[in-house]
């Protein structure tokens, strides 16, 4: 890998610096230098590739914090259960491609329709045979009998999109199986959910002991443990049990907020407000999920509690990630950047603070020894160029159209024709 010079961009480092017009130099897969125009790479032969980014916004690549790579136009659990693994691995590959093209250079896995879909795509992306972000692969959700993900009834047993366990030993074995099969992020269904009427969002079917042994087992293998938790009791259990990433977290009280604040240097929280917004705004009505149906499902109350809880968590310095359950029929892969707007609208983030949730916080959640999520010398070269200014119009990141350049690990993954014409070396074939 050679040297790439980005010139005359508005640089947003996500490291606390004010945005400034400047240049960025990449050597190999690292950011070598940043600075004022003309200062980081003097001389005509300073770089193999030179991109004039006048009028463009340069920022770290974003992290999808609740990735379901294999969810594509999903409208019911049947869409996850019935397709074959052979079919769905292509679905997951398309999900990965959509993310990288929308400026997401990392994907923090939640769960998938089959156990090894994200594992397979991750390995192909890492080998350079598929376009996609850095992936922490999720597996199947792990749930308990009669809870979210359990699709069976006494008269009609069937395999749903989850691993169903009961008790500590079954949980330990299920987590070990996920680790054996290469999963990076193990996910538990701790609480109920509005899509499962017998166990609504405020309920907590999974026990503390089951959660704790899952966390201990995943950590013993060097993996991360995440949880679907909407209920008050479930969220408290998760923090006390050592869960790393908490998805949803609508219901709260002062004790729960204090627990989160005490653990704020350890945990990451993903509100997933996008799904609620889309239902109540009528965007899912064409799929049978009108705002009226959302009312029957208690979505307005969940949204109200989400606003209350996550606004307070923002004030307490909790590390939020974006990623609101995308991949449904009304929320295509690649539109996850809409969550930035929702963070501003619902939780009181400034645009710059929302970008930090998508970049610096996401990079920290991914791990990689703190080498992702900010534009600083020595960090891994994962960044994007945006045609527009997200600080004045956050919606420019709502899809792939305004993302004109994507670099991951020092390699160009996407480049707009007008920028490509400036190149002095070819783009990766895998990114075409």
Tens of pLDDT along 122-147? 999 999 999 999 999 999 999 999 99
Query: Is pLDDT above 70 for 304?
Result: yes
- Domain 3-61+374-431 indexed as CATH 3.40.50.300: no
Which residue has tokens 């705004």?
281
Query: Is pLDDT above 50 for 203?
Result: yes
Tell me, what's the pLDDT at 423?
66
- Residue 19 burial (10 A CB sphere; 0-12, 13-18, 19+): middle
- Do the Cβ atoms of 206 and 256 come closer than 8 Å? no
Q: What is the average pLDDT across 178-205? A: 96
Tens digit of pLDDT for each residue in 385-408? 999 999 999 999 999 999 999 999
Q: SS3 of 386, please?
A: strand
CA distances to 67, 117, 275, 364 from 284, in Å: 20, 26, 9, 33
Give percent of the chain with pLDDT exceeding 70: 97
What is the DSSP secondary structure assignment for residue 427, as one 8-state letter? Answer: P
CA-based nearest residue to 226, from 323, 332, 370: 323
CA-based nearest residue to 416, from 125, 53, 11: 53
pTM of the predicted model as reported, rounded to 2 decimal places: 0.95
Tens digit of pLDDT for each residue in 95-132? 999 999 999 999 999 999 999 999 999 999 999 999 99
Tens digit of pLDDT for each residue in 280-297? 999 999 999 999 999 999
Strands 3-11 and 20-27: antiparallel
Q: What is the average pLDDT across 217-228? A: 98
In the predicted model, what is the mean pLDDT of the chain? Answer: 95
Higher pLDDT, 193 or 368: 193
Q: Which residues partner with 385 through β-bridges? A: 58, 405
The residues spanned by each domain of the chain are 3-61+374-431, 62-336
From CA 263, how far away is CA 259, in angstroms rounded? 6
Q: What is the average pLDDT across 348-372? A: 96
CATH of range 62-336; options 3.90.1150.10, 3.40.50.970, 3.20.20.140, 1.10.620.20: 3.20.20.140
Of the listed ranges 30-44, 215-229, 265-279, the least confidently predicted one is 30-44
Query: Is pLDDT above 80 for 426?
Result: no
- Given pLDDT bands bounded at 50, 70 and 90, which one contains residue 368? confident
Q: What is the average pLDDT across 223-248? A: 98
Q: Which residues partner with 248 through β-bridges? A: 229
**431 contacts: CB under 8 Å, gap ≥ 6:** 131, 406, 411, 412, 413, 414, 415
Tell me, what's the pLDDT at 1?
55
Q: What is the average pLDDT across 164-192? A: 98
Encode burial over 241-250: b for 16+ CB neighbours within 10 A, e otherwise: bbbbbbbbbb
CB atoms near residue 52 (< 10 Å): 14
Number of residues that make up the chain: 432
The radius of gyration of the chain's CA atoms, rounded to the nearest angstrom, is 21
Tens digit of pLDDT for each residue in 26-43? 999 999 999 999 898 765
Q: Which residues partner with 62 through β-bridges? A: 104
Give percent of the chain with pLDDT exceeding 90: 91
Which residue has tokens 């002062």?
254
Query: Is pLDDT above 80 for 428?
Result: no
């Amino acid at each position: 890998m050679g040297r790439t010079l980005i010139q005359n961009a508005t640089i947003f480092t996500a490291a606390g610096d004010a945005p400034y017009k400047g240049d960025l130099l990449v050597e190999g897969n690292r950011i070598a230098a940043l600075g004022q125009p003309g200062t980081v790479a003097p001389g005509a032969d300073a770089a193999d590739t030179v991109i004039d980014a006048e009028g463009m916004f340069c920022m770290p690549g974003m992290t999808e914090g609740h990735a379901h790579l294999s969810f594509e136009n999903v409208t019911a659990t049947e869409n996850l259960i019935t397709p074959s693994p052979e079919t769905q691995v292509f679905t997951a590959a398309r999900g990965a491609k959509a993310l990288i093209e929308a400026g997401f250079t990392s994907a923090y896995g939640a769960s998938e329709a089959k156990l090894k879909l994200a594992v397979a795509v991750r390995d192909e992306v890492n080998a350079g045979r598929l376009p996609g972000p850095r992936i922490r692969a999720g597996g199947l959700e792990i749930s308990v009998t009669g809870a979210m993900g359990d699709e069976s009834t006494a008269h009609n047993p069937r395999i749903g999109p989850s691993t169903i366990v009961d008790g500590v030993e079954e949980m330990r074995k299920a987590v070990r199986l996920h680790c054996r099969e290469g999963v990076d992020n193990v996910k538990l269904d701790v609480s109920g959910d509005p899509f499962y009427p017998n166990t609504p969002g405020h309920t907590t079917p999974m026990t503390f002991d089951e959660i704790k042994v899952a966390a201990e087992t995943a950590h013993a293998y060097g993996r991360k443990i995440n949880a679907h938790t909407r209920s008050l009791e479930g969220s408290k259990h998760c923090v006390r049990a050592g869960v790393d990433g908490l998805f949803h977290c609508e219901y709260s009280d002062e004790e729960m907020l204090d627990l989160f604040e005490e653990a704020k240097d350890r945990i990451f929280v993903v509100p997933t407000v996008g799904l609620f917004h889309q239902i109540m705004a009528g965007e899912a009505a064409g799929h049978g999920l009108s705002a009226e149906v959302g009312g029957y499902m208690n979505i307005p109350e969940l949204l109200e509690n989400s606003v209350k809880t996550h606004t307070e968590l923002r004030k307490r310095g909790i590390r939020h990630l974006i990623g609101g359950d995308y991949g449904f029929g009304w929320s295509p892969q690649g539109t996850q950047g809409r969550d930035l707007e929702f963070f501003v609208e619902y939780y009181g983030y400034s645009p710059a603070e929302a970008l930090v949730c998508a970049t610096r916080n996401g990079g920290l959640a991914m791990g990689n020894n703190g080498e992702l999520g900010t534009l600083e010398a020595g960090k891994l070269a994962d960044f994007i160029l945006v045609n527009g200014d997200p600080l004045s119009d956050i919606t420019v990141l709502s899809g792939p159209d305004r993302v004109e350049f994507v670099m991951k690990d020092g390699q160009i993954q996407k480049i707009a024709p007008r920028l490509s014409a400036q190149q002095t070396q070819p783009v990766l074939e895998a990114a075409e």
